[in-house]
Amino acid sequence: MLVLFLVTYVFGLVLLAYDKYCTVLDVFEKPGLYSTPVLLTVFTLVKIFIGYGSLIGIWFTWGLYPALGALVLRFLVSTYLLRHFFNHQVKKYIPACIKAVREVV
């Protein structure tokens, strides 16, 4: 059972990384999953059930403190990924913004 919860935890982290990547994309770059409200709702619910279900499974299998550690790790990974993907998008669009400002001035 423990291996199942750990595998679902890692899969939840992969879904979290994909969600953070898609969160910072522009509207015209977002995949079809994010353009349809029904699919986005289903994806969000699956992400919540897998992510937090694995944490509950770790809690029941190992105890409260390892589950809290996994929750903290999930938070730190989420924060890092959001910053990383946001900075990547900023670096991608800074030259275009500078060029647009120089053309106006």
pTM of the model: 0.85
The average pLDDT across 96-104 equals 86
pLDDT digits (tens, 9 = 90+) for 10-69: 999 999 999 999 999 888 888 888 888 999 999 999 999 999 999 999 999 999 999 999
pLDDT digits (tens, 9 = 90+) for 33-47: 888 899 999 999 999
Please state the domain extents for the chain: 2-104
pLDDT digits (tens, 9 = 90+) for 82-97: 999 999 999 988 888 8
User: Residue 64 has which token pair?
Assistant: 């409260």
pLDDT of amino acid 36? 87
Is 57:1 a contact under the CB 8 Å cutoff?
Answer: yes
Residue 102's pLDDT band, with cuts at 50, 70 and 90, is: confident
HSE-CB of 40 using CA atoms within 13 angstroms: 10
Q: Closest by alpha carbon to 29, among 38, 40, 21?
A: 21
Q: Is 76 helix (H, G, I), strand (E, B) or coil?
A: helix
Measured over the CA atoms of residue 90, residue 94, residue 100 and residue 101, the dihedral's sign is positive
For the chain, what percentages of helix, strand and coil (3-state, to nearest 5) are there? 90, 0, 10
CA gap 47, 56 in Å, rounded: 14
